[in-house]
Structure 1
Amino acid sequence: MRGGSISKAARRLGLTQPAVSAAIANLESDMGFLLFKRNHYGTEMTLEAKSFSEGAERVITALNNLEELAEDLKHGRVGKLQIGCMPGLSTITPTIAARFMRDNPEVRLSLQTFPSRKVEEWVAAGHFDLGIVERPQSKNELEIFPYKFEMLCALPADSALAAKDEITIGDLDGKPMITLGDGHQTTMQLRSLANRHDCRLNVVAETQLFPSAMALVNEGVGYALIDPVTAMEYGKRSDSQVLLRPFRPLVEFEVAIILPKFHLVSRLCRHFQVALKEEFDQLVQSLAE
């Protein structure tokens, strides 16, 4: 049909004309009706052949689509991602996921924000394909790809320490501090530094999230150690007056990309994990500079 004649079909298929004629005859015999009528003008397609060819084209198209789908599945370009993210990185994760989806338009996304421990539980149980959490605890049930961010010191705009290039634990002796609670990893590091350097840690406010701590600093309530991702995102706000300085000795904020160890991980999830790792690597490098 596509060639317009048996001889042209034979050339396209790399067969002899008798071989194509024999194939057509065999097909007609199997189906019980003629596909082509021979007359003195050449070969004419029957009405049954026209109807059958439409079905054949749909089948061929479907097979081609299946081949494309298989190729996309092979390279992790299609499917649905179920991602759980800790609140602290929920501002930047959608941006990273959106870039991934633009490069892979057949991907569908479910992105949910929960506390890190809940994300760990759901990744370990296979309810999330991938999680982004603070320092993981369930290490036997997870594949863990860790990252560390150097904490910055956030200062109110009118701070007497504004002229300093970096802030030390001694500079914060007795200053009003905003922390993320006694059990948070950064607060424990800060308290340990204060004890070692004989400094008084004057906590005037506690909050669960770094953005909330930044907002309190912005209102002049006190000082806070802030992860650089939150600092970068909050700094984009038009009403932000917070000053940021390096803090010494070093306090690190540990996060991780996690995958389930005892549940199947799709190629799509692996593909996204690689892309997410590259984004995090670039982020860590840019923040360090």
Structure 2
Amino acid sequence: MSSGSISKAARRLGLTQPAVSSAIANLESDMGFMLFKRNHYGTEMTIEAKTFSEGVERALKALSNLEELAENLKNGRVGKLQIGCMPGLATLAPRIVAGFMRNNPDVKLSLQTFPSRKVEEWVAGGHFDLGIVEKPQAKNELEIFPYSFRMFCALPPGSPLADKKEITIEDLEGRPIITLGDAHQSTMQLRSLAYKHNCSLNVVAETQLFPSAMALVNEGVGYALIDPVTAMEYGKRNDNTVVLRPFTPQVEFEVAIILPKFHLVSRLCHQFQTALKEEFDQMATSFSTERFER
């Protein structure tokens, strides 16, 4: 059909003309109708052959699409991801996700924000493909990839500590402090430091999220240890008056990328995990030297 004659088709295929004629005859026998008729001008396609050729074109195009789909699946460039993220990184995750989707436009994605324990449960149960949580204890149901970020001390407006390059646990003794509750990792580390250095903590407010703690500091309620992601995002606000300084001894904000151990993980999920790891590695390097000077 595309060559215009049996002899030209034979040359394109590297076959003899009788071999092509035999192939056509066999196909006509299988189909039950003629595909080509000879006339004074050469070989002419029948009406049935023209209709059938349209179906062949669609089938070849579909096959080509399947090959492309298989290639994209192999390289993790297509499919759907279900991701669960802890509230503390809910401002960062959309930026990472958006960058991944720009590089992989055929990806469909669901990003849900839940407390870390809920995300852990849903990843373990296969309801989420991947989770971003506060670092959990070792669990048989999860593959855990931990990361640590140094926390900063947020100083309220007009604080007499603003001239210091670093804030120590002794500097906070007797000053109003905002924490994330007794069970939070940052609060436990802070209390452990206070006990070790024989300092008392004057906790005047508790909240569940770092952005809330940052807002309270901004309102002059007290001091707080803040994770670097919140510090970076809150620092972009026009109404921000908080001063941030490195805190010593170092207190770390520990997070983890988690995958299910007993459920199949797609190539796409592994591809996203790689992109997420690169972002976290870059952040860890950046935050380790960032001073958030004002």
Q: TM-score range by the shorter chain?
A: over 0.9
C-alpha distance after superposition, 1:153-207 (max 9, x if no partner): 0111211111111111111111110100011111011011111112120111100
Q: Tell me how far apart the structure 2 counterparts of residues 135 and 99 of structure 1 sit (CA, whole Å).
A: 24
Q: Tell me how far apart the structure 2 counterparts of residues 13 and 175 of structure 1 sit (CA, whole Å).
A: 86
Q: Which residue of the partner structure matches residue 239 of structure 2?
A: 239
SS at match of 1:2: coil
Pairwise CA distance, 1:14: 2.1
Q: Tell me how far apart the structure 1 counterparts of residues 138 and 51 of structure 2 sit (CA, whole Å).
A: 61
Query: Which residue type is aligned with residue 87 of structure 2?
Result: P
Query: Which residue type is aligned with residue 199 of structure 1?
Result: C
Q: Which residue of the partner structure matches residue 18 of structure 2?
A: 18
* TM-score in terms of structure 2 length: 0.96
For these two proteins, the number of residue pairs brought into alignment is: 289
User: Is 2:99 the partner of 1:99?
Assistant: yes
Query: Which residue type is aligned with residue 282 of structure 2?
Result: Q
Q: Tell me how far apart the structure 1 counterparts of residues 112 and 250 of structure 2 sit (CA, whole Å).
A: 31
Q: Tell me how far apart the structure 1 counterparts of residues 4 and 155 of structure 2 sit (CA, whole Å).
A: 79
Query: Which residue type is aligned with residue 236 of structure 1?
Result: K
Q: Which residue of the partner structure matches residue 220 of structure 2?
A: 220
Query: Which residue type is aligned with residue 241 of structure 1?
Result: T
Pairwise CA distance, 1:137: 3.0
Matches within 5 A, 1:201-220: 201-220=201-220
C-alpha distance after superposition, 1:19-55 (max 9, x if no partner): 1111111111111111111112111111111100000
Q: Which residue of the partner structure matches residue 49 of structure 1?
A: 49
SS at match of 1:288: helix
Structure 1: segments with no counterpart, 5+ residues? none
Runs of 4+ in 1 over 6 A off after TM superposition: none
Matches within 5 A, 1:1-289: 1-137=1-137, 139-289=139-289
C-alpha distance after superposition, 1:185-242 (max 9, x if no partner): 1101101111111212011110000000000011111110000011111111111111
C-alpha distance after superposition, 1:128-169 (max 9, x if no partner): 110000021352110000000100001112111111111111
Q: Tell me how far apart the structure 2 counterparts of residues 225 and 44 of structure 1 sit (CA, whole Å).
A: 83
Q: Tell me how far apart the structure 1 counterparts of residues 282 and 132 of structure 2 sit (CA, whole Å).
A: 16
Q: Tell me how far apart the structure 1 counterparts of residues 248 and 57 of structure 2 sit (CA, whole Å).
A: 69
Pairwise CA distance, 1:105: 1.1
Q: Tell me how far apart the structure 1 counterparts of residues 65 and 219 of structure 2 sit (CA, whole Å).
A: 57
SS at match of 1:240: coil
SS at match of 1:146: strand
Q: Tell me how far apart the structure 2 counterparts of residues 99 and 204 of structure 1 sit (CA, whole Å).
A: 40
Query: Which residue type is aligned with residue 264 of structure 1?
Result: L
Residue pair 1:120, 1:138 contacting (<8 A) in 2 also:
no
Pairwise CA distance, 1:85: 0.5
Query: Which residue type is aligned with residue 17 of structure 1?
Result: Q
Q: Tell me how far apart the structure 2 counterparts of residues 5 and 157 of structure 1 sit (CA, whole Å).
A: 86
Q: Tell me how far apart the structure 1 counterparts of residues 18 and 38 of structure 2 sit (CA, whole Å).
A: 14
Query: Which residue type is aligned with residue 199 of structure 2?
Result: C
* TM-score in terms of structure 1 length: 0.98
- Of stretches 69-78 and 250-259 in structure 1, the one that deviates more from structure 2 is 69-78
Query: Which residue type is aligned with residue 270 of structure 1?
Result: H
Q: Tell me how far apart the structure 1 counterparts of residues 216 and 226 of structure 2 sit (CA, whole Å).
A: 12
SS at match of 2:140: helix
Pairwise CA distance, 1:8: 2.4
CA RMSD of aligned residues (A): 1.0
Q: Tell me how far apart the structure 2 counterparts of residues 216 and 11 of structure 1 sit (CA, whole Å).
A: 81
Identity of aligned residues (%): 80
SS at match of 1:139: coil
Q: Tell me how far apart the structure 1 counterparts of residues 14 and 239 of structure 2 sit (CA, whole Å).
A: 72
